[in-house]
Amino acid sequence: MQPSYRRVIPALLGLALIVMTGCGSSPTAPGIQPQISNVPDNFSYQTSNVRGYSGAYTYSWTNSGTGASVNQATTVTAGSITLTIKDANGTQVYARSLADNGTFSTTTGVAGTWSLRLVYSGASGTVNFRVQKV
């Protein structure tokens, strides 16, 4: 090996390790590839072909109102998927299984940055939900 390669190869290996390590903490971790639209007052999430996946992800969402409408159109064929929403003060305003399809309302909360937490537990199916300011 040339002396210059002795410096380049370890650097490339180190870069590869950093890239691979960073992927594990991303909301688009292996197992699901969600399509997310996260704009003030409107959040939507969709992913398909989920198979036996477990993991939890929290998304920050700006809601200028004190409530939200949650439309769930999910097919859970195994395991469970839950959605929990907290208002800007961290007060839980919504918690429901995504297997329950329909349109539901949060309780009244405080406007600002809300958190949406998804928990997958051995889940399989197609996930589709939208959260909108009311």
What's the mean pLDDT in 118-134? 97
CA dihedral 82, 87, 90, 91 (to 10 degrees): -80
What's the mean pLDDT in 113-122? 97
Q: Convert the pLDDT of each residue in 52-94 to its tens digit.
A: 999 999 999 999 999 999 999 999 999 999 999 999 999 999 9
Whether residue 134 has pLDDT greater than 90: yes
Q: State how far the Cα of 72 lies from the Cα of 102, in Å rounded to an integer.
A: 5
Q: What is the CATH number of the domain that holds 59?
A: 2.60.120
Q: State how far the Cα of 97 lies from the Cα of 8, in Å rounded to an integer.
A: 50
Q: Contact at 8 Å (CB) between 85 and 73?
A: no
Instruction: Answer yes or no: do 64 and 15 share one domain.
Output: no
Instruction: Answer yes or no: do 63 and 17 share one domain.
Output: no
Instruction: Answer yes or no: do 67 and 15 share one domain.
Output: no
Q: Structurally, how many domains does the chain consist of? A: 2
What secondary structure letter does DSSP report for 74?
-
Instruction: Answer yes or no: do 15 and 40 share one domain.
Output: no
Q: Which residues, in sequence order, are bridge partners of residue 124?
A: 78
Instruction: Answer yes or no: do 60 and 95 share one domain.
Output: yes
20-24, 33-37, 86-90: least confident range: 20-24
What's the mean pLDDT in 18-33? 47
Q: Contact at 8 Å (CB) between 71 and 133?
A: no
Whether residue 116 has pLDDT greater than 50: yes
pLDDT tier, 109 (very low <50, low <70, confident <90, very high otherwise)? very high
Averaged pLDDT score across all residues of the chain: 85
Q: Contact at 8 Å (CB) between 60 and 131?
A: no
User: Structural domain of residue 51, as residue ranges?
Assistant: 31-133
Instruction: Answer yes or no: do 66 and 91 share one domain.
Output: yes
